[in-house]
A and B are shown apart, each in its own frame.
Chain A
């Protein structure tokens, strides 16, 4: 795994972790049919934390973060996001989804809408923001991810890295308090990986609570305050990044790190 060189190093002094709990997962279990994908997950995320989740393919990383905005349903245990417990109650699910942004591996932009429309759609229809205001917010975030000039193009006309930055801007337009990233850079070429990671570092510096599934260990070292290693549907090890990389405890972690570093 190549490590990306960052233009500017993240300013960790600006990343404050508060005592307030953002996400609480208690004894959570999930099955796909009879297959036990997530086993007894316990995890507390405080506001302002930047957590990197890694682990071998099929270990349940995506499933875990997709449970946190109920794209997947868990069958046992509790998930409490922003003080709201996720159950089959649609009203609660909608509330949580309004506060939690998600960025996907394959961007999932809406190809029939322009970049600007992609960014204003949810604020207008979900938050009932007036169109003018939604457009101003969208332009603000498009500037932040450094592609305001593409606002009137369609996603199909952008490069992968640009599309992923739009996807980040689209999530930010909902003014979420928590951001979930599921391998945001693994469909990208190295040059584009950097532009996306730079955007994510800036976001971290602004104090966003972030859960990031990624194999970019450079990013983990730069911004994460905690690295979680998952295997076979369980959290095997979690630690501060320096400790995690220099002194892994479990054999599985050591094996995994030796393979990807």
Chain B
């Protein structure tokens, strides 16, 4: 080796070239990914064999099943010893699995409520939707429950007025005293309205001007309609509550912080089912005698509180992942606390937390099946009722399989949506 350096000067700059093509066609892909060497090839073949065996058992069972029969025995007669599904049970009991005992001439009401909800969600979930749809988003929380339970139109009006009262009190107090006093007294006024005055208001007005639709009692709710009702209210209510709790946990105000931490840790420390038992039995003791506090409403509150505690921790994770510089830049520009949270901190923290938030939503939706234990007729509750019927005694796979499939479709859609959202919000920042 010599010490001499070979001097080199480039005289011409290279032209830009297209990147090498990675697309070698499906055959190339198969060879590269499934049969790159003998060991992988064996694994591929074994896997294919296992998949084949499973499908070979499942497909004839599922697709060779009986759709029309009135009992399990009739199914067996039709099948004559062939091992296949008895889908007839789904066919026979479909409407109960979907709506429980909800009166069938009123099915249009939950259906309409669901359509309304989907329309209401469009401007929330996708941007570029017409702004006017937001009115539907605002009205749905009041109109939806009214469609489900029926009764006088004045109940949802009274409920909506609670927000008007709360905001009015907040405005008044905030301008007269301070923002903090407004933040305490506004919600307090709304709660007082709902608990003490809303009922009387709607009774009074409906005695003067009776407008309403046929009421349906809570115990007639059932099937997927019940699960979806519980799931959606839980999701819609636990999300803002979770944000507030997460912010409360980071607050400098010691009372706010202690309350938030106490709430979160208490709720996370007990199983949901105990909270549901509390909803079923205990709440009745705490409330004034004679107050008719709907069981579904009680369950909704418990599910919401439970999910909110988890949501708060998921969002706190997102908040913790934000660099301190983001807060400082917002402060230095003169944004106040709420502006900084809404415009800078939350959009980023929530984006980071999307996978966790959606997991919590999915978990919440699946946890609604626990209400069957306290005697509500959700899909699992209905499976048990149907199994108890002499005609269908002994049927298992078809019912649970059907319920699982519907749950899977809903949960999988949520998960796909979250992936869409993550891609949409990606701005190339690392």
Contact = CB atoms under 8 A, between A and B. Distances in A.
Contacts of B339: 125-126
B375 interface: no
Interface string B187-223: 0000000000000000000000000000000000000
A98 to B, nearest CB: 5
A154 B428 CA distance: 7
B137 interface: no
A122 B347 contact: no
A111 interface: yes
A61 to B, nearest CB: 16
Contact of A104 (B328, B344, B347, B425): B328
B427 A126 contact: no
Contacts of A104: 325, 328-329, 332
A215 interface: no
A97 B344 CA distance: 17
Given A108-B329, A112-B348, A97 B343 contact: no
B331 interface: yes
Contact of B325 (A98, A106, A126): A106
Nearest to B336: A94
Nearest to A122: B333
Contact of A156 (B334, B335, B427): B427
A101 B332 CA distance: 7
- State which size class the interface on B falls in: 20 to 34
A97 B332 contact: yes
A260 interface: no
B73 interface: no
A121 interface: yes
Contact of A112 (B332, B333, B425): B425
A43 interface: no
A241 interface: no
B315 to A, nearest CB: 16
Contacts, number: 71
A contact patch SS: mixed
A111 B332 contact: no
Most chain B CB neighbours (cut-off 10 Å) among A112, A121, A170: A112
A157 B428 contact: yes
B76 interface: no
Nearest to B337: A90
A106 B325 CA distance: 8
Given A112-B425, A154-B429, A155-B429, A71 B328 contact: yes
Contacts of A98: 334
Contact of A174 (B333, B344, B347, B351): B333
B333 to A, nearest CB: 4
A122 B332 CA distance: 10
Given A104-B325, A155-B429, A97 B333 contact: yes
Given A111-B348, A112-B351, A97 B334 contact: yes
Given A98-B334, A108-B328, A112-B351, 7 more contacts: A69-B332, A102-B329, A111-B348, A112-B429, A122-B335, A126-B334, A155-B427
10 contacts: A90-B336, A97-B331, A97-B332, A104-B328, A121-B344, A154-B428, A156-B428, A156-B429, A170-B333, A171-B333
